[in-house]
Amino acid sequence: MTADHSSPAANAGSDPAADPRPADPRTVWLSDYRPFSHLLDRVELTFRLAPRRTKVAARLHLRPNPAARGQHVLRLDGEDLRLISLKLDGTVLDLTPDETGLTIPGDLLPNGPFTLETLVEIDPADNTALEGLYMSNGMYCTQCEAQGFRKITFCPDRPDVMARFHVRVEADAAADLPVLLSNGNPVAAGAGWAEWDDPWPKPTYLFALVAGDLVAHRAPFTTKSGRSVDLAIWVRPGDQDRCAWAMDSLIRSMQWDEKVYGREYDLDTFNIVAVDDFNMGAMENKGLNIFNSKFVLASPETATDDDFARIEAIIAHEYFHNWTGNRITCRDWFQLCLKEGLTVFRDQQFSGDMRSHAVKRIEDVALLRARQFREDQGPLAHPVRPESFVEINNFYTATVYEKGAELIRMLKVLVGDAAYAGAIDLYFSRHDGEAATIEDWLKVFEDATGRDLSRFARWYSEAGTPRLNLTETWENGRYSLTFRQHTPATPGQRHKSPKVIPIAIGLLNADGSEAIPPQVLEMTEAQQSFHFDGLAARPVPSILRGFSAPVVLERIATAEERAFLLAHDSDLFNRYESGRALAREMLTGLARGQGDLLAGWIAALAPVIRDQALDPAFRALVLRLPGEDDIAQALHDQGVPPDPDRVHAARKEAGLALARALAPDLDALIAALHDSGPFAPDAAGAGRRALSNALLALLSRLDGGEAARAAFKDANNMTATTGALVALLDIGGAEPELAQFASRWAGDRNVMDKWFMLQIACAAPARVAGLVADLTRRPDFDLKNPNRFRAVFGALSAHHAGFHRADGSGYRLLADWLLQLDPLNPQTAARLSTAFETWPRYDEARQHLIRTELSRILDAPGLSRDLSEMAGRMLAAG
Ligand code: B3K
Ligand code: ZN
């Protein structure tokens, strides 16, 4: 293979100066980073817990930072704190805090080490934002990332200020709080109090405290160098029999990190606590992970296979943060992808090792496209390392996490497995105990491999999904591939430069065999050709195998060629990809009322579905039709504003046609997947159940739901139950089953979230808004519980045709509820507002309706910083 390239004048980088938007005065800039004025050696905290009046006494041991000479004041962050007393080296200071903190003037500050003591009062029972110290079902817990610690006490609340923490927790004798936990190792305890000491310096965002009436599911662990660790998962009494899977996942994660990354655990205890009210999935606080109970508790009766897989992945993710995030943390919040991208990549590797790499990759790419590509193509697009933010919580995004992980994956493909391992070892030895940057990260790879990564670094600073266009020629026995790359403009970045793109390829002979050894082409220029000589005949190319780069591949191929790859490619990802391309072309054709590609699609798909030698999990993925949001984006890419009703109808029509084509085989195919043994949440069983459920949904289209009704009655696990329920909801006949489900699970919040979510997800488009409104009137709809709010309003926004009703009812309903939620929980309100990010795709009438709702949100008095930043960014792109 030989390569040549030409690079048109396309080297203009990002140009924030071209951003026409007026800067929000609250904007924080990466370029403004300065080291903190002081070093914080040690923090001693005493909590006297009381729901409305918790007292926090803090003693901070500080000294001037030699790296920050010339900064004369000491600024402590602090919000919503009632300051009772303040002392410097024992002397009372009479200073008044402002809205966001406390400034100690330089003339009061010693030149050497000193101690600052504060006593504050806070109100955890009134904390519905779930940031800082708050209460959930009578228990106390904390969430400090990113900037929640400042709601607990006055302190420099930034990740580059790291200290050793000693914590004493005292509970009122009358309170029922037998379990008192914090970070690190337990050092002493008595009736109503406990002390914890964390020997590892950490930033405030990793601080945690939990107090409650909890029971533990325990297990011992011995690290490879012989340290005994007490593992415990703490839950409410009654939930302890649903912790086995999470514990098993934790032990496997610890073993995997030792084996694959050489990383051992470094404390005597590792605690995980499950809480019902939590803004996200989980949090990696040092030695005391706090989890949304949804991602801990599982039994076959209450959790689906997807739940089991997600629990395994999130337990691993938080555990892996102990090294990638905690031991090596981020210098500032702009470097968030340093810990999140790497940790997501590590949890993806882990899940691949535990399950099937190909299936895991297909699922990860589906998620990347559904969430990150969507973000990258809309008004909220931002680089993996953003340059500014108003509210950092708005940047815990698919771009930082999922695209961040893709960048690590590309690096690994580019340098090779052995060099990757060497660079990672260097990263751990060079930066352990530090707060690092993306520059540090790339330097490690440069030093370990001798490569120049300056061009690769553009992936971190430029937003947008590159489009990779491919043309092929076959002349005189020479086969050539010519790639052109182009990244569309994104907000604030009009001009983009060429990226380094690893393109894994294979060339196939007519019998499906490989004409050349599979290889990785390294594209570095705007346009580049690669030549292959010595081939006997024109091959069929298999491009971007394993999705080797997060790009949109623009390649025109015939349906025959796609069908050939779906049947023969040795790369399972690209087999799936060919099936997906066929399905998208067929569905966009149907939605546009053009041509009928159904027969060709079915002819290509059916043999894969019937092929019992293939992994059922893979067949289930191939069978899964592209979602309506995906089809809408494909239409937009074709220059057609999507009509949500037609998209919905096209998908229904394709499902029915497929069901009819497979009809003679459906019963036998389902029967062959039947499991008679006890439920096990392993990948093989999960794959069989996924395929069985997908086929059952097809069968229901033909038999009026008879088989699904029987399956619902017989179901002995939640995967089978929800599979049958979805099949029935889809055909509109599940009233008795919904009622049975609700009466069986009324007392279980996590299971009932499924009940709320599924009926919205499967409702006919015209019914969605009415159904959501009805569900919010139920006594068990709780605005303050993020899981319940997301179950309902996440399902509304994910229901493409229901949310995008032409009358604007979906938009209005969501905006009304975001405005209700915002004063209570701005973080969750801001997160769900991303439902509106796709507005530029739609027709003018819908654009107008969405922009009207976004303006209404933006104009609301007292709007949070979180939601105002999001609404403002979405509107600015107009
Ligand atoms: N680091 C946390 C996320 C914190 C989100 C703050 N808004 C969980 C994780 O990524 O592991
Ligand atoms: Zn994380």
Task: Express each pLDDT in 17-58 by its tens digit.
Answer: 445 456 789 999 999 999 999 999 999 999 999 999 999 999
pLDDT digits (tens, 9 = 90+) for 72-111: 899 999 999 999 999 999 999 999 999 999 999 999 999 9
pLDDT confidence tier of residue 675, bands split at 50, 70 and 90:
confident
Mean pLDDT across 586-598 = 92
Query: Which of 340, 402, 832 is the pocket-test mutation for ligand 1 (most atoms within 8 Å of CB)?
Result: 340
Handedness of CA 616, 622, 628, 630 (dihedral sign): positive
Per-residue model confidence (pLDDT) at position 21 = 53
Ligand 1, atom nearest to 401 Cα: 10
pLDDT confidence tier of residue 5, bands split at 50, 70 and 90:
low
CB 460 within 8 A of CB 504: no
Ligand 1 mean position, distance from CA 149 (Å): 14
CB 235 within 8 A of CB 293: yes
Q: Is the pLDDT of residue 7 over 70?
A: no
pLDDT digits (tens, 9 = 90+) for 159-170: 999 999 999 999
CB 841 within 8 A of CB 824: no
Q: Is the pLDDT of residue 608 over 70?
A: yes
DSSP 126-183: G-TT--EEEEETTEEEEE-TTTTGGGTSSB--STT-EEEEEEEEEE-TTS---EEEES
Mean pLDDT across 175-187 = 97
* Packing angle of the helix pair 336-354, 244-261 (nearest 10 deg): 110
Among all bound ligands, the one having the nearest atom to the CA of 147 is 1
Q: The tokens of 319 are what? A: 């555990």
**Left, alpha or beta for 101 (phi > 0: left; psi -120 to 50: alpha)?**
left
Nearest CA to ligand 1 atom 4: 145
| Distance (Å) of CA 540 to CA 475, 521, 556 | 15, 16, 13
Query: Which of 142, 143, 145 is the pocket-test mutation for ligand 1 (most atoms within 8 Å of CB)?
Result: 145
CB 857 within 8 A of CB 819: yes
For residue 782, give the 3-state DSSP assignment: coil
Tell how strand 179-182 and strand 467-475 pair up.
unpaired
Ligand 1, atom nearest to 281 Cα: 8
Report the largest interatomic distance among the alpha carbons of the chain, rounded to a whole angstrom. Answer: 89
pLDDT confidence tier of residue 174, bands split at 50, 70 and 90:
confident
How far apart CA 174 and CA 192 sit, in angstroms, is 9
Nearest CA to ligand 1 atom 9: 283
Tell how strand 269-275 and strand 288-292 pair up.
parallel
Domains and CATH numbers, the chain: 30-299 (2.60.40.1730), 329-461 (1.10.390.10), 467-557 (2.60.40.1840), 558-703 (1.25.50.10), 746-878 (1.25.50.10)
Q: For residue 117, list its beta bridge partners.
A: 59, 87
Ligand 1, atom nearest to 279 Cα: 7
Look at the block and give the residue holding tokens 């590309």. 410
Q: What DSSP state is assigned to residue 570?
A: S
Per-residue model confidence (pLDDT) at position 877 = 75
CB 464 within 8 A of CB 490: yes
Ligand 1, atom nearest to 827 Cα: 7
Ligand 1, atom nearest to 146 Cα: 6
Ligand 1 mean position, distance from CA 234 (Å): 20
Mean pLDDT across 189-206 = 98
Q: Is the pLDDT of residue 397 over 70?
A: yes
CB 152 within 8 A of CB 78: no
Mean pLDDT across 279-286 = 98
Between 507 and 3, residue with greater pLDDT:
507
How far apart CA 708 and CA 305 sit, in angstroms, is 18
Ligand 2 mean position, distance from CA 510 (Å): 45
Residues with CB under 6 A from ligand 1: 145-146, 280, 282-284, 317-318, 321, 340, 393, 396
Among all bound ligands, the one having the nearest atom to the CA of 318 is 1
User: For 732-764, b where at least 16 C-beta lie within 10 A, e where not — what string?
Assistant: eebeebeeebbeebeeebbbbbbbbbbbbbbbe
Nearest CA to ligand 1 atom 2: 283
Query: Where do the H-state alpha helices sit in 432-533?
Result: 438-449, 458-461
Number of H helices, E strands in the chain: 29, 31
Ligand 1, atom nearest to 392 Cα: 7
Nearest CA to ligand 1 atom 7: 393
- List the catalytic residues: 318
Among all bound ligands, the one having the nearest atom to the CA of 346 is 2
Mean pLDDT across 437-444 = 98
Ligand 1, atom nearest to 282 Cα: 8
CB 382 within 8 A of CB 30: no
Ligand 1 mean position, distance from CA 574 (Å): 32
Ligand 1, atom nearest to 314 Cα: 11
Q: Is the pLDDT of residue 488 over 60?
A: yes
Ligand 1 mean position, distance from CA 365 (Å): 21
Ligand 2 mean position, distance from CA 319 (Å): 9
pLDDT digits (tens, 9 = 90+) for 304-323: 999 999 999 999 999 999 99
Query: Which of 206, 253, 275, 283 is the pocket-test mutation for ligand 1 (most atoms within 8 Å of CB)?
Result: 283
Among all bound ligands, the one having the nearest atom to the CA of 405 is 2
Ligand 2 mean position, distance from CA 534 (Å): 48
Query: Which of 253, 280, 348 is the pocket-test mutation for ligand 1 (most atoms within 8 Å of CB)?
Result: 280
Helix (H) or strand (E) holding 458: helix 458-461
Query: Which of 149, 157, 284, 322 is the pocket-test mutation for ligand 1 (most atoms within 8 Å of CB)?
Result: 284
What does the mean pLDDT of the chain come to?
96
Nearest to 325 by CA among 356, 294, 289: 289
Query: Where do the H-state alpha helices sit in 704-843?
Result: 706-714, 718-730, 735-745, 749-761, 768-776, 786-789, 795-798, 800-803, 809-821, 826-832
Ligand 2 mean position, distance from CA 814 (Å): 28
DSSP 808-840: SHHHHHHHHHHHHHTTT-HHHHHHHGGGGGGGG
Nearest CA to ligand 1 atom 5: 145
Q: What DSSP state is assigned to residue 31?
A: G
- pTM beyond 0.95: yes
Nearest CA to ligand 1 atom 8: 283
CB 235 within 8 A of CB 243: yes
Look at the block and give the residue holding tokens 């190792």. 185
Ligand 2 mean position, distance from CA 710 (Å): 41
Ligand 1 mean position, distance from CA 298 (Å): 22
Amino acid at 114: F
